[in-house]
Structure 1
Amino acid sequence: MQSLKAAGAALLAWAVAGWWWDAPMALMAPWTALFLVQSTIYRSLLSALQQLTVVVVGTLLAALAGVLTHNTVAAMALALPLTVLLGNYARFGTQGLYAPTAALFVLASGSYTGPDIAHRFLETLLGAVIGIGVNALVFPPVHSRRVRDLRAQLPLSSAELLHTVADGVAGGYDEEQARGWYDRAQRLTDVVTDLREARRWSDESYRVNPGLRLRRRAAPTPPTATWDFVWDQITEHIATTIRTLAEPARRPGLAPNARDALAALLRAAGDVCRSGEHTHIAGPCSPGDVEQVQDFRRSLARASAAHRRLTAACTGRHPGLASTTGGLLADTRRLLSALLRIAGPEAVLASGPFARRHADQSADG
């Protein structure tokens, strides 16, 4: 779509410039319009400001070099190094390339008079107006789909990984399996990074976008950035827990009842993640979300109960294993504390006293 819009803007600019100035070979207007149909309207405006600046400076430098040397080759030797240096200035971004290009247009035409220079400036301005106008009025770009896709992927991938680890803990696993789990956990943190980048891109596409009020929202607005922060913590604690399980010293340190409790905890935590896909932070639930919220709370209660059994199995009858299993208990407690934040304080109050105790322990550090 962006390519078609850019081509259409260039053709429109060429037609308008040719009709207005009776100059069918005018290049500055379509050239400017072509490169100002950017991925967001805000980026189009920013690029227009940058391009107008570099085109004006590049054109003036080329005209000055032509007047001083009266020779095209000598003028190029004088103007091009200066415009290339200007184009490398970081504030101009990718638009800096057009400073030497504008200088080449002027020197190749061999016209340095005031009216000719003013004509080029007006062409550039016309192209900028047409490029921005086409981008803003013809299917204004809004980039929210990737945010929704990643937002849906993260809970499901987390749930799938936790269920896989739970099955492995219950049936026995080796070091190679644990390393594979940890690699998958690291990829979850990469998804969070991608989500942050996609949200920045989406937020930019909503800036100075006149077409937003004309759009029908096909999907609900994605949660705020607080959701990203919560899932950043969850994926980090999942990775930490799996790293603890991958350590050779941890595997023989779990008694059968502790292993069963850990498997139940991880499986319930996976159910919390899956239910949390439909649960918004600290927001009122629509009638269609009531069942998902109830599933979330039941899964959270099962995870809390399993953590209590794991604590009793590791410290009640086997005090000698405390040094081995203490890290695992702390990792899973932090994971549950992060899961509690998915649905806000309401989930803590509804999930029983053990869940509230986890929240208190997390607050105490």
Structure 2
Amino acid sequence: MQDSTILRRRNAAERRIRHLFRRVRVKHTRHAVHGFKTLIAALLAWVVAGQWAPGGRPYLAVATALLMVNASTVYRSVTKAAQNVLARMAGLTLALVTARLLGPTAAAAAVIVVIAVLAGPRRTADDRLQVASTAVIGLAAAAADPMAGVVPPVLETLVGAVVGIAVNALVLPPLYLEESESAVRGLAHAMGTLLHDMGVGLAHHRLAAASHTWLLRARNLDERLTRAEEQVQRADESLRWNTRCAAQARRKGDPTASEALRALRGVSLQVRGIARTLADNAHGSHADHRLGQQFLDRYAETLQLAGAAVQAFAEPLSRTGSGGTIPRERLHGAIEGAMTWHEAMTGRIEGGTLARPGAWHVYGSLMTDVERLLADLDRVDVHVRRVAARAAR
């Protein structure tokens, strides 16, 4: 037991070190790519728009291109470009109208601010602010020469948006698949580790001493779940309108990050329920409702099996575990073992062979949580296998 614990900790430390080096390498590579794409977009926007921009200085086109090329995804660069162009057109149109009616005066600026603030509930605060600032800046130019003051900024904005989108879409468009998969694997590892630690703690009769810590760790899973959801959403968005279509292909039989996250979202509820039930039972005031040690010893084994199943669930199919065992096979082995024990314990409860009958409702709660946890994993795994079978035909 001690040797296996040392080996597990050593493997976990090695995984964390590899993960750290991989994150540093990816971060530096991404910064270099962003710098390269930013330089290309700025130079291209200057060359294209500089031929007809006033004075040959298309600063607005370059600034717009920089905004678009540094969007986190291609989809976001397109939507941001549309919002930017529409906001600038609305601001310059507003400047043209107020300059015609009131001239470049303080009253015109005040009218612009009021109209922009009351532009409607569908516009966000940033959109209204951009409309107002563009209108105020273009107010003087629109009053002096409407066409020369309004048309070139709109054209520069369009050129900069097109250049920024094109560079972002064609030159190594951003993808976040690795980050999302890493976040999901980290979440699964945290849940599996907690289940394993609860199982080991119950086996060593540490329920009263460690139950509060388990509950805190279970509650902290919500933060990891939120971060994983954000990463998965960004990865899914990065696949939209992305020219790197080959990156969408995944290994057959592997769950996508979205599918795995949906299962883990349900698992997190069950893990938190188990931790809460154990903590309440450890510190409850009803002595006749305390769990019997016979049940806790067998439940400890089930928690360790469930922990192994959760940790194996998010692993890619091509990665093998100890002894060359594929994680999918270890997952089903854990599920079958836990289900067999579940049936045996249900029979003991029904037959009245377990002590402390006043704690039957606690037995039922804990066993139901484990059953639902494994059922969630099994349901998604069966779905993934069916998808892989259809893809192989």
What TM bracket, shorter-length normalisation?
0.7 to 0.9
Mapping 1:90-239, distance limit 5 Å: 90-91=122-123, 94-109=126-141, 111-173=144-206, 175=208, 177-213=210-246, 223=256, 225-239=258-272
CA distance in 2: counterparts of 1:345 and 1:21, whole angstroms:
57
CA distance in 1: counterparts of 2:147 and 2:380, whole angstroms:
69
Q: CA deviation at 1:93?
A: 6.6
> Contact conserved, 2:273 with 2:369, CA < 8 A, in 1?
no
Secondary structure of the equivalent of 1:36?
A: helix
From 308, 325, 328, give the equivalent of 1:293. 328
Compared CA separation, residues 61 and 345, structure 1 to 2 (3 A): closer
The one-letter amino acid paired with 1:187 is N
From 344, 353, 359, give the equivalent of 1:324. 359
Compared CA separation, residues 346 and 164, structure 1 to 2 (3 A): closer
Mapping 1:42-57, distance limit 5 Å: 42-57=75-90
CA distance in 1: counterparts of 2:380 and 2:83, whole angstroms:
47
Identity of counterpart residues, as a percentage?
Answer: 26
From 236, 244, 249, give the equivalent of 2:277. 244
CA distance in 2: counterparts of 1:159 and 1:328, whole angstroms:
21
Q: CA deviation at 1:130?
A: 1.0
TM-score (norm 2): 0.75
* 2:315 pairs with 1:271: no
Secondary structure of the equivalent of 1:68?
A: helix
The one-letter amino acid paired with 1:33 is A
Q: Which moved more, 1:325-334 or 1:204-213?
A: 325-334
Compared CA separation, residues 196 and 138, structure 1 to 2 (3 A): same
CA distance in 2: counterparts of 1:155 and 1:65, whole angstroms:
59
Structure 1 unaligned spans of 5+: 348-365
The one-letter amino acid paired with 2:260 is W
**Partner deviation per Cα, 1:48-74 (whole Å, 9 max, x = no partner):** 221211111110111222222333444
Compared CA separation, residues 287 and 274, structure 1 to 2 (3 A): closer
Name 1:36's counterpart in structure 2: 68
CA distance in 2: counterparts of 1:178 and 1:230, whole angstroms:
25
From 279, 300, 304, give the equivalent of 2:339. 304
Q: Which moved more, 1:47-56 or 1:20-29?
A: 20-29
CA distance in 2: counterparts of 1:65 and 1:346, whole angstroms:
63
> Contact conserved, 1:262 with 1:307, CA < 8 A, in 2?
no
Secondary structure of the equivalent of 2:89?
A: helix
Secondary structure of the equivalent of 1:23?
A: helix
* Count of matched residue pairs: 341
Compared CA separation, residues 32 and 286, structure 1 to 2 (3 A): closer
CA distance in 2: counterparts of 1:18 and 1:291, whole angstroms:
59
Name 2:115's counterpart in structure 1: 82
The one-letter amino acid paired with 1:169 is L
**Partner deviation per Cα, 1:144-163 (whole Å, 9 max, x = no partner):** 22220122112221221011
Compared CA separation, residues 330 and 115, structure 1 to 2 (3 A): same
> Contact conserved, 1:40 with 1:204, CA < 8 A, in 2?
yes
Q: CA deviation at 1:78?
A: 2.7
Q: CA deviation at 1:306?
A: 3.4
Secondary structure of the equivalent of 1:20?
A: coil
> Contact conserved, 1:253 with 1:325, CA < 8 A, in 2?
no
**Partner deviation per Cα, 1:83-130 (whole Å, 9 max, x = no partner):** 3443x8544574443212222331354644224322222111111111
CA distance in 1: counterparts of 2:195 and 2:162, whole angstroms:
53
Compared CA separation, residues 300 and 245, structure 1 to 2 (3 A): same
CA distance in 1: counterparts of 2:261 and 2:113, whole angstroms:
47
CA distance in 1: counterparts of 2:177 and 2:125, whole angstroms:
25
Q: CA deviation at 1:31?
A: 2.5
CA distance in 1: counterparts of 2:51 and 2:346, whole angstroms:
81
Structure 2 unaligned spans of 5+: 1-30, 383-393
Q: CA deviation at 1:346?
A: 8.3
Q: CA deviation at 1:41?
A: 1.3
Secondary structure of the equivalent of 1:51?
A: helix
Secondary structure of the equivalent of 1:172?
A: coil
* 2:58 pairs with 1:26: yes
Q: CA deviation at 1:345?
A: 9.0
> Contact conserved, 2:138 with 2:149, CA < 8 A, in 1?
no
* 2:25 pairs with 1:13: no
CA distance in 2: counterparts of 1:262 and 1:305, whole angstroms:
12
Q: Which moved more, 1:153-162 or 1:185-194?
A: 185-194
In angstroms, what is the RMSD of aligned CA positions?
3.3
